[in-house]
Amino acid sequence: MSTLVRFDWAIKRLLRNKANFNILEGFLSELLKEDIVIQEILESESNRTTRIDKQNQIDILVKNSKGELIIIEVQQNDESDYFQRMVYASSKLVTEQLDAGDKYENIKHVISINILYFDLGKGEDYIYKGKTTFEGLHTGSVLELSEKQKDIYFKDNVHEVFPEYYIIKVDNFNNIAKDCLDEWIYFLKNSDIKEDFSAKGIQKAKEELNLMRLTKSELSDYEYFLHCSRVSRSEISTALDKGYDKGEDAKSKFVIGKLIVRGFSDEEIADVTGNDLRQIRYLRKNSEIE
Domain chopping of the chain, boundaries: 7-209, 216-286
Report the alpha-carbon distance of residue 82 to residue 57 in Å, rounded: 12
Q: Is the pLDDT of residue 144 over 70?
A: yes
Each residue of 262-279: pLDDT tens digit? 777 777 777 777 777 777
Euclidean distance between CA atoms 175 and 197, whole angstroms: 13
Q: How far apart are CA 26 and CA 5, in angstroms?
A: 17
DSSP labels, 181-198: HHHHHHHHHHS---TT--
Taking the C-alpha atoms of residue 169 and residue 158, their distance in angstroms, rounded to an integer, is 27
Tell me, what's the pLDDT at 250?
Answer: 59
pLDDT tops 70 at residue 236: no
pLDDT (tens digit, 9 = 90+) per residue, 162-216?
999 999 999 999 999 999 999 999 999 999 999 999 999 999 999 999 888 888 8
Q: What is the pLDDT of residue 43?
A: 65
Q: Tell me the pLDDT tens digit for each residue of 65-92.
A: 888 899 999 887 777 788 988 998 899 8
273 burial type by CB count under 10 A (0-12 exposed, 13-18 middle, 19+ buried): buried
Alpha carbons 258 and 246: distance in angstroms, whole number: 14
* pLDDT value for 204: 93
pTM exceeds 0.85: no
Angstrom CA distances, 258 to 41, 110, 247, 253, 254, stand at: 36, 38, 16, 9, 6
| CA separation, residue 113 to residues 50, 70, 75, 97, 140 (Å) | 23, 7, 11, 19, 29
